[in-house]
Structure formats: C-alpha cells, structure tokens
Amino acid sequence: MFSVQYLKNILYLQNGTQEGKIKFAFFVAAVGITLTVLGVGTEFWVELAPSKGFHNNQTCLAAHHGLWKSCTKMLWVADVDPERESCGPLDLPGVVTLCSFFCTDLTVMSAMLAIFGLFLMLMGAVCIIMAISKGVQFFLKPASVCFTLSGVLVFLSLIVFHQSVLSFLASDHTIPLHYELSWSVTCVGCAGAMLVVAGASFLLLALPYSPWEKCPPCRNNDS
C-alpha cells in the first residue's frame, strides 16, 4: 500500500537528485566556458618560426599568433634544442620584439565563430539558471541546444583557423616557416568537448526520468 505522502516523498527525492545532476552538468559547461574565454583571449594559437639558422648563428626569430594579437620573439640559438630544426619553442628565454593587434583573413572567420559560440554559451547559462531557480525542466532543452551548438562552433573555429594557417603558409614560400599549434588551441579544443558533453547531458536530463511522470495524476486517496 502506497500513500499519497509516500509518493510525494519519492518525487521530492528524485527532484533533488535531478537538481544535483543539472548542477554538475552546469559545472562542466562552466569549465568549458572558462576555457573558451581563456583560449579566445590569448594569442598562443599557433607558433610560426623559420629554421633556427635562417637569421644568423646567434639569434633566431619566432612568432605566435592568436585571434586578435600577434607577437614576435628573438631567441638565442644556443638555447634551442640541437635536434630541433626550427627556432623555438617560445617558452625559451628571449626578447619580445613586437606585438600588434590585428584582425586579418587568417583569423576573422575563426573569431566570428568563437564569438557566436560564446553568445550561445551565455544563452545556455541563462536557461540553466532559470531551470534551477524556477524549477522548470522546460529550460533544459534550449540549454542543451545552445551548449551543443556552441561546442560545434568552437570546433569549427579551430578547423577554420588551422586551414587558414595552412593556406597562409602555402601562399608565401619566400621564408620557409614551421608551425605548431599551441596551448590556446588545446584550451579551446577541451572546451568544445566539454560543451558538447554538457549539452548532451542536459538533453538526457530533460527526458522523463521518473515512471510516475507517465502515470495519470493520483487521486486524493490512500490506496
């Protein structure tokens, strides 16, 4: 025999568990948002460098680019690994010679995709806050769409940027350059994966999670 109060207690516990799952998925999404902001705001997307002996035998020049900023750095050839052909890596001690803000064809499309992805992340975060504060499960589905699409846009931003770098290197052979994708790309890639996972989690949480939801409303009796 199940009483109405007993059923209410079960539903209350299930709702509490559901809210905990939503908060955990939102935490994953928040980490993804943070990594996206970090990656988009930094200039270590790609490192470009000629051969370490191209400039002279004592110093070599390397550069790192992001979506908004480019910097060049003078390194000492003696500090470069003897087995390495190109100048770098950029974490070696050296002198930053020039930094400039720019928005070229190399980055404009990637930047637009990343910014639109950040906008969708913001919309998804608002939906989840509404779902938690108001207790309305309806907001989980639009949040799922926002976070999943933002993760896809982040991946597209990486792909477009990589193809832009390859096109740039193929267009000019006057100075043979070596390239390496740097840690900002790693942050953005991890962010995209976490956003897609969070979006899929919100979609699963939006599905009926209790068999009682499929039952007709209980009448006011003790049977």
The answer to whether the Cα torsion of 95, 100, 106, 108 is positive or negative is positive
* pLDDT tens, position by position, 4-31: 443 344 334 345 577 788 888 999 999 9
Pick from 36, 33, 34, 72: which is nearest to 55 by CA?
72
Distances in whole angstroms, Cα of residue 208 to Cα of each of 64, 136, 138, 204: 49, 13, 11, 9
Q: Which of 16-25, 93-102, 185-194, 208-217 has the lowest mean pLDDT?
A: 208-217
> Which residue has tokens 């108001």?
134
CA distance 194 to 71: 30
Beta-bridge mates of residue 101 = 69
Residue 84 included in any domain? yes
Residue 7 included in any domain? no
DSSP letters spanning the chain: ---HHHHHHHHHHHHHHHHHHHHHHHHHHHHHHHHHHHHHHSS-SEEEE-BTTSS-SSEEEEEEE-SSEEEEEEEEGGGS-TT--BS--TTSSEEEEEEEE---TTTHHHHHHHHHHHHHHHHHHHHHHHHHHH--GGGHHHHHHHHHHHHHHHHHHHHHHHHHHHHHHHH--SS--EEEE-HHHHHHHHHHHHHHHHHHHHHHHHS---GGGGSPPPPSS--
Residue 151 included in any domain? yes
pLDDT at 172: 67
CA distance 203 to 213: 17
* pLDDT tens, position by position, 44-54: 888 888 777 67
Average of per-residue pLDDT across 166-175: 75
Bond from prior residue into 89 cis (ω within 30 degrees of 0): yes
User: Domain with 78 in it: what CATH number?
Assistant: 1.20.140.150
- Spell out the residues 6+ positions from residue 129 whose beta carbon is closer than 8 angstroms to its own: none
Q: Is 222 a residue whose pLDDT tops 60?
A: no
The range of the structural domain enclosing residue 194 comes to 21-208
Average of per-residue pLDDT across 91-105: 72
Residue 10 included in any domain? no
User: What is the model's pTM?
Assistant: 0.77
Residue 9 included in any domain? no
Residue 214 included in any domain? no
Residue 189 included in any domain? yes
Pick from 25, 1, 40, 19: which is nearest to 189 by CA?
40
Domain count, the chain: 1
Residue 29 included in any domain? yes
Q: Is 180 a residue whose pLDDT tops 50?
A: yes
